[in-house]
Amino acid sequence: GESVGLHLPTLSVQEGDNSIINCAYSNSASDYFIWYKQESGKGPQFIIDIRSNMDKRQGQRVTVLLNKTVKHLSLQIAATQPGDSAVYFCAESPNFGNEKLTFGTGTRLTIIP
């Protein structure tokens, strides 16, 4: 079946540096993508989303890039802080709206003080 996966299961970044988390998806029909942050023992927290008609979207300290040609999604976090340490999941959906999400395997980001 279709799946969403990540290249790197763990990532360690020095505090203050930028981090990039990658995600490969296999469903070319996916129209909507979301990045979530999950801290230990908590539910996923929405970070940023992007629709397939865009290739870049920026938020506060975060940027999501979408490359539909190679079915690749990335999350860039600028000037990382200790509070950014968490597991990051990408998720995809066939449509923007009331559709179920398929989650990737997750990447654990550790910020080194």
- Tell me whether residue 15 or residue 96 sits nearer to other proteins (CB atom): 96
Type of residue numbered 20: I
The CB-of-49 to other proteins minimum distance in angstroms stands at 6
Residues 6+ apart with CB under 8 A from 77: 18, 19, 20, 21, 61, 62, 84, 109
Total residues belonging to the chain: 113
- Tell me whether residue 48 or residue 69 sits nearer to other proteins (CB atom): 48
User: Is there a contact between 26 and 3 (Cβ–Cβ < 8 Å)?
Assistant: yes
Q: Note whether 89 binds other proteins by CB under 8 A.
A: yes
Q: Note whether 81 binds other proteins by CB under 8 A.
A: no
The CB-of-12 to other proteins minimum distance in angstroms stands at 17
Backbone angles phi, psi at 83, to 5 degrees: -70, -10
- The helix/strand/coil state of 82 is helix
Q: Note whether 97 binds other proteins by CB under 8 A.
A: yes
The CB-of-41 to other proteins minimum distance in angstroms stands at 7
Q: Note whether 36 binds other proteins by CB under 8 A.
A: yes
The two tokens of residue 29 are 């029909």
The site for other proteins (CB under 8 A) is made up of: 34, 36, 41-46, 49, 89, 96-98, 100-106
